[in-house]
Amino acid sequence: MVRYLVRRALSWLVMIFIATNLVYFLSNIFLHPRANYLGRRPPLPEEQVDATLAAMNLNDKDPLLERWWTWLTNILRHWDWGQGFVGTGDVNGEIAHRMWVSAELVLGATILSVLIGVGLGVYTAARQYRLSDRIWQGISVVAMNTHTVVISLVLVLFAIKVNSMSGSTVFYVTGGRISADGFFASAVELLQRLALPTLSLIFISYASYHMTQRSLLLDNIEMDYVRTARAKGLTRNQAIRRHALRTSIIPVATSVAFSIPSVFTGAVMTETIYAWQGMGQYLVQTISRNDIHGVVATAAFSALLTAIGAILADMLVVALDPRVRVS
């Protein structure tokens, strides 16, 4: 198992290296850092623009291969991903800060979405076509077709109303740095800031896990091994929990593992509405500012998370399916 994981990790490292370098060349084709200095009043002298871009290794008048080699050697020797136009300009510092902001915002929502979705999938599959099953299916269908902006704005209006009625800040509508002093006060304020975006993300995310888990469970309920378990005296609910769930949860666990990149870079709208300076917002800003180094670093970060997700998916399948473990 260890040898297999090492081989997988090495193969993913090669793919990450190739993909990152490919993104670098594509970014240099489609993004133009010089455009950031056009239209300024008064206009900057071309020599000054050239000098500024050359210091950042972004001068399009220099050969592309020469710029690529400088960029690559800086990464391999010093882990320096270069300078950009977003935030402080230090790509390393921006990624290091923003990935934790996104983690705070989205990891908890993802975990809760999976637990709620899988739990509802088991609950409704065991009560197929009953009233509770139809009600939860209806709610999930509505959730799947509700845009992030809509639910976010509804929650913002709700929070403003609650704050107004209570005369104090129960919910923070925007993110930002924690201003409270002390561990307990800081934790409470963090929860107040996370409440609204977390609810938004849960509402739009849990439904897909619910519907997928329910469908897979209903397929597995008719399998021979589940029928055998029921013939030995287990109830329908017991057979689902002890036997059908173990097999049907494998595709869900795999999809969760592969959703790790979107956890960090996919919550663009949520981060924008609630003013969280995370990876999703950083990706949009780097593209709009022609920030080649920022775009490439974000792509490399997403590729690394994809590799981690793939390895975790393999480990989850092995843990959940004894047939794979034997093979």
| pTM for this entry | 0.83
Q: Band of the pLDDT at 162, cuts 50, 70, 90? A: very high
CB 115 within 8 A of CB 208: no
CA-to-CA distance for 321 and 249, rounded, in angstroms? 10
- DSSP 8-state code for residue 235: -
First-to-last CA distance in the chain?
A: 11
Average pLDDT, the chain: 87
Distances (CA, A) of 231 to 123, 168, 228, 238: 22, 59, 5, 12
- DSSP 8-state code for residue 45: P
- Measured from the Cβ of residue 207, the count of other Cβ atoms closer than 10 Å reads 24
CA-to-CA distance for 28 and 33, rounded, in angstroms? 9
User: In what helix (H) or strand (E) does residue 213 lie, and over which residues does it extend?
Assistant: helix 183-221
Q: Of residues 43 and 143, which shows the higher confidence score? A: 143
pLDDT digits (tens, 9 = 90+) for 103-123: 888 888 888 999 999 999 989
Is the confidence at residue 14, as pLDDT, over 90?
Answer: yes
Task: Report the pLDDT value the prediction gives residue 324, as an integer from 0 to 100.
Answer: 59
Q: Of residues 327 and 177, which shows the higher confidence score? A: 177
Provide the Cα torsion 232, 233, 238, 239; round to 10°. Answer: 30
- DSSP 8-state code for residue 295: H
DSSP string, 95-136: HHHHHHHHHHHHHHHHHHHHHHHHHHHHHHHTTTTSHHHHHH
Please tell me the least confidently modeled range out of 71-80, 134-143, 217-226, 284-293.
Answer: 217-226
CB 32 within 8 A of CB 290: yes
CA-to-CA distance for 214 and 122, rounded, in angstroms? 6
- Measured from the Cβ of residue 313, the count of other Cβ atoms closer than 10 Å reads 18
Q: Coil, strand, or helix at residue 90?
A: strand
- Measured from the Cβ of residue 159, the count of other Cβ atoms closer than 10 Å reads 19
CB 84 within 8 A of CB 291: yes
Looking at mean pLDDT, say which of 68-82, 195-209, 239-253 comes out highest.
68-82
